Structure 1
Amino acid sequence: MFQIRGLVVFCGLLAQTTAQLQGLPLGPGPVLPLVSGPTDLAGSLTGALSNGLLSGGLLDNLRNLPLLNILNLGRDNSGGLVGGLLGRLTSQLSFLKNIVDVQIQSPQLLELGLVQSPDGHRLYVNIPLDLGLDVKTSLVTSLLKLDVKLNITAEIVAVRNENGRIHLVLGDCTHPPGNIKITVLDGVGLLPVQLLLDNLTPFLHITLPGLVQSTVCPLLNSVLGNLDMTLVHDTADQLIHGLKFVIKV
């Protein structure tokens, strides 16, 4: 009997409390932000491009660049593109014969940059690379270690195909002239090494950016063709309408 009477009292109190609460004015709840478009689209795009380049084997491709083969071709100086480019380096080529091996070690893809054209219809992706070069010569027993930094700049545009579907395509993809920096990490101070470096640097300035470009650009084109369709649609929609990306610096 006591338990039943207690239950009746509890139910009465509960009903009274509920009635009092219903009479109180409700305060304003949290206001949810209205999202009118994709957030951090620029960051999502550069992240997807970077991941695509890495998963597509960019670093392995850079390690396997045929630098020694190009150097041997330059030594022949028998004409053609490389021979023509190196024609003015004839005096240096005899010294380069002391190089027995050139390899790219520990290449790195640095953080991609993004710039939008003034009209808003194009994106320019800056692809910075850091390449460690080991140069083995017959002049000294130790390796000549170099650090090479260079950039590839790629243009991305949005187009519609004959079916009306929009997609991203690669426009110009090149390396800015003179945009290469070579630093000696090891081997400074020895006269033969310094002479070798003085002769090797012009050769690298002429040949290395083009080799890197021929590796990066086709791979980037493939990456664009395999991006997530939501990301492609959001990016293309911004570009077609000339809307400005919020690019975090």
Structure 2
Amino acid sequence: TMCPLWRLLILLGLLALPLAPHKQPWPGLAQAHRDNKSTLARIIAQGLIKNNAESRIQNIHFGDRLNALAQVAPGMVGWLISGRKHQQQQESSINITNMQLDYGGIQMSFHKEWFSANISPEFDLELRPPFDNNIIKMCAHMSIVVEFWLEKDEFGRRDLVIGKCDAEPSSVHVAVLTEAIPPKMKQFLHNLKDNLPKVLPQLVESQVCPLIGEILGQLDVKLLKSLIEQEAAYEPTHHESSQPSACQAGAPPS
């Protein structure tokens, strides 16, 4: 008669064991569960991971947006034209690599039925100048804030409204990581570094903002209201700030 009980205890014990690292389908989600006390932050993190937000951002092609960069970066038009006058394989390119969304660092703020999420993407940029085999490495960091609130319609029913979703201008940092810069590239690189912060946030927002709206839009409004009330009651008075990265510091890593 005790056999089924022992089997149940053994089964419960196995379920309690942590998964092996290689079996974890989304490693970022484990970090989010450890670091975030907010259920809504974990829901957002899980949704971003499942929808491959990092890959979407990393796969952004700058080709369609180089003209926009050229409009704000003096000297870039000539640089791009000179690259296109010759062989295609020698064209200039900018690629995003090492994309990291700080899933565990998603911060939530609440006020009645209004709430916001703060997400901090960080990534590297690889700039390949025309007719130069040397890749210039840069990095970028920003904080994107997305606002939501519950709004009653004429019948008293609540709907989720998505407000602004954009990067805080003061949070956008671009740093050059490559130390040995060819003299002929220094002026152009200076212009590019100054003007990338005007373009990069829009590219990242175009991927992150719709996803967050879609993730929270799938939640039942009553459940969402309950989560907001619960988390607003236990929200800490201040958020712990993490150490600035090399990009935030604006200097190459030592």
TM-score by length of 2: 0.65
> What residue in structure 2 maps to residue 48 of structure 1?
43
Shift of 1:227: 3.5
Q: 2:121 aligns with which of 126, 129, 133?
A: 129
The question of whether the paired residues in 1 share the 8 Å contact of 2:109 and 2:235 is answered with no
What secondary structure does 2:164 align onto?
A: strand
> What residue in structure 2 maps to residue 68 of structure 1?
63
- From the CA coordinates, give the structure whose radius of gyration is larger: 1
Shift of 1:160: 4.1
The question of whether the paired residues in 2 share the 8 Å contact of 1:48 and 1:227 is answered with no
The question of whether the paired residues in 2 share the 8 Å contact of 1:145 and 1:184 is answered with yes
> What residue in structure 1 maps to residue 108 of structure 2?
114
What secondary structure does 2:168 align onto?
A: coil
Shift of 1:178: 3.9
Task: Measure, in 2, the Cα distance between the counterparts of 1:46 and 1:233.
Answer: 15
- Aligned AA for 1:60? S
1:232 correspondence with 2:224:
yes
What secondary structure does 1:142 align onto?
A: coil
Shift of 1:226: 2.2
> What residue in structure 2 maps to residue 23 of structure 1?
none
What secondary structure does 1:204 align onto?
A: helix
The question of whether the paired residues in 1 share the 8 Å contact of 2:158 and 2:221 is answered with no
Return 5+ residue gaps in structure 1 as ranges: 1-40, 76-82
The question of whether the paired residues in 1 share the 8 Å contact of 2:125 and 2:137 is answered with yes
- Aligned AA for 2:235? V
Aligned-residue Cα RMSD (Å) equals 2.9
The question of whether the paired residues in 1 share the 8 Å contact of 2:92 and 2:128 is answered with yes
Task: Measure, in 2, the Cα distance between the counterparts of 1:159 and 1:235.
Answer: 16
Matches within 5 A, 1:69-88: 69-75=64-70, 83=71, 86=72
TM-score by length of 1: 0.66
Q: 1:246 aligns with which of 235, 249, 252?
A: 235
Moved more, 100-109 or 62-71: 62-71
The question of whether the paired residues in 1 share the 8 Å contact of 2:175 and 2:193 is answered with no
Distance 1:200 1:237, change over 3 A: same
1:57 correspondence with 2:29:
no
Structure with the greater relative contact order (CA < 8 A, sep ≥ 6): 1 or 2? 1
Distance 1:157 1:238, change over 3 A: farther
Shift of 1:61: 1.3
Task: Measure, in 1, the Cα distance between the counterparts of 2:117 and 2:125.
Answer: 25
1:149-184 CA-to-partner distances (Å, cap 9, x unmatched) read: 011110121234567554543211112224311122
Return 5+ residue gaps in structure 2 as ranges: 1-35, 84-90, 241-254
> What residue in structure 2 maps to residue 94 of structure 1?
78
What secondary structure does 2:120 align onto?
A: strand
> What residue in structure 1 maps to residue 195 of structure 2?
203
The question of whether the paired residues in 1 share the 8 Å contact of 2:54 and 2:99 is answered with yes
Task: Measure, in 1, the Cα distance between the counterparts of 2:58 and 2:223.
Answer: 31
The question of whether the paired residues in 2 share the 8 Å contact of 1:122 and 1:157 is answered with yes
> What residue in structure 1 maps to residue 148 of structure 2?
156
1:81-132 CA-to-partner distances (Å, cap 9, x unmatched) read: xx4xx2xx44444345556111111211112112234xx3321211100011
- Aligned AA for 1:185? L
How many pairs are equivalent?
Answer: 194
Shift of 1:203: 2.9
Q: 1:174 aligns with which of 166, 186, 191?
A: 166
Task: Measure, in 1, the Cα distance between the counterparts of 2:170 and 2:76.
Answer: 20
Task: Measure, in 2, the Cα distance between the counterparts of 1:132 and 1:174.
Answer: 20
- Aligned AA for 2:58? R
